Amino acid sequence: MDISVVVPLYNEAESLPELTEWIRQVMNKNAFSYEIILVDDGSDDDSWPVIETLKTEHAEIVGIKFRRNYGKSAALNVGFEAAQGNVVITMDADLQDSPDEIPELYRRIREENFDLVSGWKQKRYDPLTKTIPTKFFNAVTRSMSGIKNLHDFNCGLKAYRRDVVKSIEVYGEMHRYIPVIAKWAGFKKIGEQVVEHRARKYGTTKFGFSRFINGFLDLLSIFFVGKFAKRPMHFFGSLGVISFITGTLIALWIIGQKLYHIAYHIRYTREVTDQPLFYIALVAIVVGFQLFLTGFIAELVSRNAPERNNYQIEKTL
């Protein structure tokens, strides 16, 4: 199969018939073999009945329905697991992503051998409450990840080689940083393509202020997990050793200073325990020891971590 189109959706009943028909026209025009995987993320409108109707009309459609709302990352992760195409295309269900971009995205993966091609919506129709946080996170992510050629990490329209989606895990709000996850997994040929951003035709945006906070926390998480998931002791242990050694040296210096005064009969104005620096040293020693233990426990946990992506799927077509 040439292409799998993965579409995560939540309350998008109105747009689904138009979107799937548009995708079908593009695929048939280019003679692609394909499937359209619609992942219903616990919608409470008529999205699933619409998907059931579409399935009866078009065999290329695959429907997956979550029992409750898990989030876009969960929907993408399950869609990636189900995908069978050599190239996997992701797009949003709100008709703001154009299926007409699919042939060029496919060509760049197959002919230019990119691992991942991310869309860049130069001209956006989103409100400022969405575009400003997006620009901030894009700038920070470029700086921290070293992927300097991407302007829009969170663009829903992306193309992947099959190996990429079968090798990465997406959870939480990590869908924003899939290029970074792919890079940490060893897929370093990442490109960008300017794509059309269309104004929303149906429904309302699902972007809320909580995603601003969650996005920032996930940004920190992804870099910690990317660098230290398999070796947490390197992170916690290093901090612990530095803190422990610093506290020990300060304590030894204070004690040594008192012993020097005693040995040479020099008047000592303050006891060791009267000095604030002594308590700072004790805190540093204790914190260092705790960090070291945290690293040790994290090592044990990382070797026996349960699966994070265990979702209850109610129905599959």
Does the pTM exceed 0.85? no
Mean pLDDT of the chain, nearest integer:
85
pLDDT at 26: 96
Closest by Cα among 255, 257, 236 to 302: 236
Res. 254 pLDDT band, cuts 50 70 90 = confident
Cα 249 to the center of its chain, rounded Å:
41
Residue 258: the pLDDT is 83
- Cα–Cα distance between 49 and 17 in angstroms, integer? 11
Q: Structural domain boundaries of the chain?
A: 3-229, 232-303
| pLDDT score of 245 more than 80 | yes
Closest CA to 156 of 202, 91, 111, 104: 91
Tell me: domain 3-229, CATH 3.90.550.10, correct? yes
248 pLDDT tier (thresholds 50, 70, 90) = very high
pLDDT in tens, 40-96: 999 999 999 999 999 999 999 999 999 999 989 899 999 999 999 999 999 999 888
Return the structure tokens found at 1: 């199969």
- The Cα–Cα gap between 180 and 70 comes to 22
d(CA 315, CA 53): 14
% of the chain residues with pLDDT over 70: 83
